[in-house]
Amino acid sequence: MTQSRAGTEPPRTRVSFLSQRSAGASGRVLRPSAKLLPEDARGHNRALVLQTLFTVGQQSRADVARGTGLTRVTVSDLVTELMAEGLLVETGQREGARPGKPAILLDIDRSSFQIIGIDLSDSAVFRGAVLDLGGSIQRRVQLPVTGSIGQAAIDQVAILIESLLALVTAPLLGIGVGSPGIVDRAGVVISAPNLEWTGVPLQAALSEQFGVPVVVANDANAAVLAEHSFGDASGEGDLMLVRVGRGVGAGLLLGGALLYGSRFAAGEIGHVVVGTDGGELCSCGTHGCLETWLAAPRLEAKLADAALDTTPGAAGDTILREAGRRLGIALATIVGALDLSEVVLSGPERLLDGSLVEATRETIRRRTMERLHGGLTLRLSTLGDDIVLRGAAVMVISSRLGVS
């Protein structure tokens, strides 16, 4: 049996696809990422218990049983196990005048474990933080990296992790890294031109060096996970997050699962040409890529030329509107194809808020069918510069505990 399968697609791939797509839970559940096989019922049930407590907050064992559909005996058993591991704590008795024995409330002990989050997406600094299980940042370290490329940049990541490890005060659940570029599911950075990384097995290398679980993913993918877990996302699990920085990229969450694409490049919209009227020369050699209209350094330079006058009708305002319009052209087809309900922009508010986002909204509205896509929400993220750090924590929580 095993022999005859040699050289063919292993069956696990298909099973994990089903487990992601057909899981019956609803709400803000992040589908476990290929780790849970159907026979791993206990692991799945553990994740359900943790998920309901992460999402709803403190509850009694009976509430958890109702919320998960598990029996009280199963819940009680799992709670005992999770308390022994330190993940859950009893927080006291429920206040109230109901007759009978008052219920004891349980909650996630958010201080029981810590996570190291790393953000490599900024060209000037590598950011790092120690976070708790609730995604709150407890300590920060940043390392100036201007000019660090290749092995030197990898060494800088290790130095940053070393200094964060010294600040960790609880058992470490793992290390999450948001990297620019194309990153596969095994955490290999296939290509990150700015860091001159090609085929760098960052996840495996860091995991071996530090002896703890490490998850490496694309920075926009980390960001969309943060928005889903900690932002104002509607919770439907269909969400696109567009990051505007030195480049333009996006992360897509569909049905609560990250979309990777056939070459792990889903969401790489920065080098899609928007319009048929040419445009400026892009770093990739093409004219009129979305980045040439929207990337922060390009916009800043154009606004500087226009003497920063961004009042309505002024030259600066026209530049911002045009950038927003080009983003709207790029997004309209995606919204139409995927029937998205929510698109979130993350980047410098000074550029994105106001005329730019209004023009994007207006362009999408004019280019999609009102009856189908009129309900689209387009807004700015409120997570600011910490979005990738917090997303890196979600990646670790998701991979270790099966929850978002």
- One DSSP character per residue, 260-298 reads --TTS-TT--TTSB-SSS--SBPTTS-BSBHHHHH-HHH
Q: Which is nearer to Zn ion, 107 or 322 (CB)?
A: 322
Please tell me whether residue 289 binds Zn ion under the rule CB under 5 A.
Answer: yes
For residue 149, the minimal CB distance to Zn ion (Å) is 20
Eight-state DSSP code of residue 240:
E
Please tell me whether residue 284 binds Zn ion under the rule CB under 5 A.
Answer: yes
Please tell me whether residue 140 binds Zn ion under the rule CB under 5 A.
Answer: no
Among 110, 271, 350, 400, indicate the residue that binds Zn ion (CB under 5 A): 271
Stretch binding Zn ion (CB under 5 A), from 53-61, 156-164, 225-233, 264-272: 264-272
User: Residue 397 in 3-state DSSP?
Assistant: helix
For residue 304, the minimal CB distance to Zn ion (Å) is 22
For residue 288, the minimal CB distance to Zn ion (Å) is 8
Stretch binding Zn ion (CB under 5 A), from 122-130, 261-269, 283-291, 317-325: 283-291
Please tell me whether residue 282 binds Zn ion under the rule CB under 5 A.
Answer: yes
Stretch binding Zn ion (CB under 5 A), from 27-35, 43-51, 176-184, 266-274: 266-274
Q: Which is nearer to Zn ion, 113 or 293 (CB)?
A: 293
Eight-state DSSP code of residue 342:
E
Please tell me whether residue 394 binds Zn ion under the rule CB under 5 A.
Answer: no
Stretch binding Zn ion (CB under 5 A), from 28-36, 60-68, 282-290, 361-369: 282-290
Please tell me whether residue 281 binds Zn ion under the rule CB under 5 A.
Answer: no
Q: Measured between alpha carbons, how far is 1 from 85 in angstroms, rounded to an integer?
A: 39
Structure tokens at 116: 């190291």
Structure tokens at 9: 């697609």
For residue 363, the minimal CB distance to Zn ion (Å) is 20
Q: Are 250 and 267 a contacting pair, CB within 8 Å?
A: yes
Rg of the chain in Å (alpha carbons): 23
Stretch binding Zn ion (CB under 5 A), from 6-14, 16-24, 263-271, 393-401: 263-271
Structure tokens at 35: 């780790």
Q: Measured between alpha carbons, how far is 38 from 18 in angstroms, rounded to an integer?
A: 9
Cα dihedral 56, 62, 66, 68 sign: positive
Q: Measured between alpha carbons, how far is 346 from 192 in angstroms, rounded to an integer?
A: 20
**Applying CB under 5 A, which residues contact Zn ion?**
271, 282, 284, 286, 289
